[in-house]
Amino acid sequence: MVMLVKEILSLKGSQLYTIAPEGLLADAVSLMVGRDIGSLVVMQDGQMVGMLTFREVLAVLNAKGGTLTGVQVRDVMVDNPVCAHPEDTIDQMRSIMLEQHIRYLPIREGDRLLGVLSFHDVAKAALKAAAFENRLLKMYIKNWPEPDPAESK
């Protein structure tokens, strides 16, 4: 059974949390903490121009001695982030995330941003798929036909 990115996205939903490039990094952190999320899509004129994750925030905190004063999102965001397509398989998506060392992957169809999936979303979907396959196998084994004694002679 091959699971597609669009199936994971339909399980999670397409809620997007965004911020403008000129937004303050401190405001981005407040939004991320308040929503318990690890990334924001950076949008300008209705288009995704970047991604901001906790990794970029931590790098700035480290570089600036623990302060975010005056830092704008555009100063630290990932420009033109790698994206996946809704028809990609879960394995293709995992490969992208592992090769690019990213935990949050925007899903695009053409110029349309459909959502963002995290490594957590992928793991959750994989567990759900494995549980479903496990149930199917147990039903198959439970309903295994008994051997016909006449055939063994």
Q: What is the pLDDT of residue 141?
A: 79
Q: What is the pLDDT of residue 111?
A: 87
Confidence of residue 3 (pLDDT cuts 50, 70, 90): confident
Percent of the chain clearing pLDDT 70 (strictly above): 95
Nearest to 76 by CA among 91, 89, 90, 62: 62
**Coil/strand/helix, residue 16:** coil
In tens, the pLDDT along 24-50 reads 999 999 999 999 999 999 999 999 999
Q: What is the pLDDT of residue 44?
A: 96
The CATH classification number of 5-144 equals 3.10.580.10
Q: What is the pLDDT of residue 13?
A: 75
Average pLDDT, the chain: 89
- What is the residue extent of each domain of the chain? 5-144
The region that residue 54 occupies, defined by phi over 0 for left and psi between -120 and 50 for alpha, beta otherwise, is alpha
**Coil/strand/helix, residue 30:** helix
Nearest to 124 by CA among 11, 40, 39: 11
Q: What is the pLDDT of residue 1?
A: 63
Residue in the block written with tokens 């995704």 = 48
135 neighbors 129 (Cβ within 8 angstroms) = no
Q: What is the pLDDT of residue 153?
A: 59
Assess whether pLDDT exceeds 70 at residue 143.
yes
